[in-house]
């Protein structure tokens, strides 16, 4: 946080909202710019951020600077201090961000199909159940009503999935494939299973195809400078074979899907036999379900596309809302540890791939979705904290001065600050074995 003697307490964002002033954010921005210019001195970035703070304090003692004001002072400070290369890198980065924001604004209506009415409904539900704030969440834990919140949250999610099933029924017999898509760890697999239950209750039979089995062998994936493999691009999947198999299934033929072993990074072809009878619907749950290349061989009228996201509405003691991607990051940190043989810290540093892929291969296609499901569970944060909070102090220590891990550091700092305010719940036995959260923490009655 900023110096206690600094009169600056808040920063005005571009949308007019305010956030608490935090000098460390300035230091991190300077450090990232310096790193791109070949400098790796975190201490210097910290010292320069103090100079920025002094200038802000001298000029905005009776008001609140905007983000643009702060960035202007950072540029002036870098130039005045003789850090010309860093200043140049910072200015270029700032300009690129401005262009990116402008591009998003221009294409917002065409690419972002998340309805604001839906988000408002989520917030109202949380408010009605006193779980839209960390304070309210902690009250449930202290007051013994946490199990009630768990039951209500699971029930809301299940009813939402069932409503999706009703929409599919309305489009029969044209719909032959239901695609459940969404970003990493949004709960696609459990939603697929529960959608199957909902449709079976209506007399329909469903058959699921596991797209994860269509990954190419890991040795065919490119590596980055850290030696990480990129599972997040659709090109990591055998798209040609997927389309071939989908066409064959709709023609009534029998296929044999591959089998992929995440622990060894290898697949075997022609393993799992699969066929689709005339009264059956094929279900696909995939990160890239909305990516046209995955199902381009199938006519649009034969597909129902459901999009799922953790549309959580939880704000901390400073009024800052949690980020949906952070919620999913925590889920994946746990799941990867027991399902993909990865340690939580590896998932944290790999997350830049995840976000990059989501922005490139999911967001542009949201507009094609027919239905939206909110998979955020307000009760999961206290449980996730008990299982993961221990890793974040170490992440902050390791990555703060590592110029190549600043994205991981910023994420770790943000998650740490939020979880630090939440009361941890060690005993997860009250969570139903049918809960979506079990997909990530284990103990589910479903097979994944």
- Looking at residue 224, what is its pLDDT? 57
Q: Are strands 266-274 and 18-20 parallel, antiparallel or unpaired?
A: unpaired
Q: With bands split at pLDDT 50, 70 and 90, how would you rate the model's confidence at 104?
A: low
- Looking at residue 12, what is its pLDDT? 87
CB 420 within 8 A of CB 390: no
What value does the mean pLDDT take over residues 414-426?
97
Torsion of Cα atoms, 131 then 133 then 134 then 140, to 10°? -30
- Looking at residue 340, what is its pLDDT? 67
- Looking at residue 358, what is its pLDDT? 83
- Looking at residue 226, what is its pLDDT? 63
pLDDT tens digits, residue range 56-85? 988 886 668 889 899 999 999 999 999 988
* pLDDT higher than 60, residue 109: no
* pLDDT higher than 60, residue 221: yes
pLDDT tens digits, residue range 117-137? 788 899 999 999 999 999 999
* pLDDT higher than 60, residue 2: no
What is the phi/psi pair of residue 402, to 5°? Answer: -95, 110
- Residue 4: how many other CB atoms lie within 10 Å: 5
* pLDDT higher than 50, residue 106: no
DSSP 48-73: HHHHHHHHHHHH-TTS--BHHHHHHH
| Structural domains present in the chain | 10-107 (no CATH), 112-441 (3.40.50.300)
**Which of 38, 50, 41 lies closest to 77 in space, CA to CA?**
50
pLDDT tens digits, residue range 428-447? 999 999 999 999 999 999 98
- Looking at residue 222, what is its pLDDT? 57
For the whole model, what pTM was predicted?
Answer: 0.77
- Looking at residue 4, what is its pLDDT? 56
* pLDDT higher than 90, residue 395: yes
* pLDDT higher than 70, residue 225: no
% of the chain residues with pLDDT over 70:
92
CB 330 within 8 A of CB 351: no
- Residue 416: how many other CB atoms lie within 10 Å: 15
- Looking at residue 359, what is its pLDDT? 82
Question: Which of 221-230, 313-322, 346-355, 428-437 tops mean pLDDT?
Answer: 428-437
* pLDDT higher than 90, residue 357: no
* pLDDT higher than 50, residue 249: yes
- Looking at residue 73, what is its pLDDT? 93
- Looking at residue 98, what is its pLDDT? 80
Q: Which of 22-31, 183-192, 339-348 has the lowest average pLDDT?
A: 339-348
- Looking at residue 230, what is its pLDDT? 65
* pLDDT higher than 70, residue 348: yes
pLDDT tens digits, residue range 13-64? 877 778 889 999 999 999 998 898 888 899 999 999 999 999 998 888 666 8
- Residue 268: how many other CB atoms lie within 10 Å: 12
Question: Which of 175-184, 284-293, 420-429 tops mean pLDDT?
Answer: 420-429
């Amino acid at each position: 946080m900023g110096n206690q003697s600094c009169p600056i307490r808040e920063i005005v964002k571009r949308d007019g909202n305010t956030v608490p002033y935090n000098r460390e954010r300035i230091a991190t921005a300077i450090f990232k710019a310096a790193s791109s210019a070949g400098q790796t001195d975190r201490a210097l970035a910290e010292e320069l951020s103090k100079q920025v703070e002094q200038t802000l304090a001298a000029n905005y003692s009776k008001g609140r600077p905007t983000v643009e004001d702060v960035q202007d002072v950072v540029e002036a400070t870098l130039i005045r201090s003789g850090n010309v290369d860093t200043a140049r890198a910072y200015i270029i980065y700032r300009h690129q961000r401005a262009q990116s924001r402008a591009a998003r604004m221009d294409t917002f209506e065409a690419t972002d199909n998340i309805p604001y009415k839906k988000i408002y409904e989520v917030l109202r539900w949380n408010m009605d159940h006193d779980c839209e704030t960390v304070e309210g969440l902690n009250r449930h834990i202290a007051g013994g009503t946490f199990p009630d919140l768990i039951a209500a949250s699971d029930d809301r999610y299940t009813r939402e999935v069932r409503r999706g099933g009703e929409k599919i029924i309305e489009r029969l017999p044209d719909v032959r494939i239901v695609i459940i898509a969404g970003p990493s760890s949004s709960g696609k697999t459990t939603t697929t299973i529960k959608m199957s239950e909902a449709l079976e209750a209506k007399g329909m039979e469903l058959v699921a195809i596991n797209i994860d089995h269509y990954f190419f062998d890991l040795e065919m994936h490119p590596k980055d400078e850290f030696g990480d493999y990129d599972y997040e691009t659709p090109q990591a999947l055998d798209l040609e074979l997927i389309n071939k198999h989908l066409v064959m299934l709709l023609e009534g033929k029998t296929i044999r899907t591959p089998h992929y072993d995440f622990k060894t990074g290898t697949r075997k072809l022609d393993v799992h036999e699969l066929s689709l009878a005339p009264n059956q619907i094929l279900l696909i749950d995939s990160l890239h379900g909305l990516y046209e290349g995955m199902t381009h061989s199938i006519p649009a009228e034969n597909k129902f596309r459901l999009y799922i996201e953790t549309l959580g509405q939880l704000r901390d003691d400073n009024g800052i809302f949690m980020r949906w991607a952070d919620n999913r990051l925590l889920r994946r940190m746990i799941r990867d540890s027991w399902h993909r043989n990865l340690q939580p810290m590896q998932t944290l540093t790999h997350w830049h791939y995840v976000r990059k892929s989501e922005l490139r291969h999911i967001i542009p296609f949201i507009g094609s979705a027919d239905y939206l499901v909110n998979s955020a569970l307000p009760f999961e944060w206290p449980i996730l904290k008990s299982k993961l909070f221990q890793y974040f102090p170490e992440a902050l220590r390791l990555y703060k001065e590592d110029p190549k891990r600043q994205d991981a550091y910023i994420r770790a700092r943000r998650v740490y600050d939020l979880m630090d305010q939440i009361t941890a719940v060690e005993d997860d036995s009250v969570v139903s074995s049918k809960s979506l959260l079990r997909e990530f923490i284990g103990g589910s009655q479903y097979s994944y």
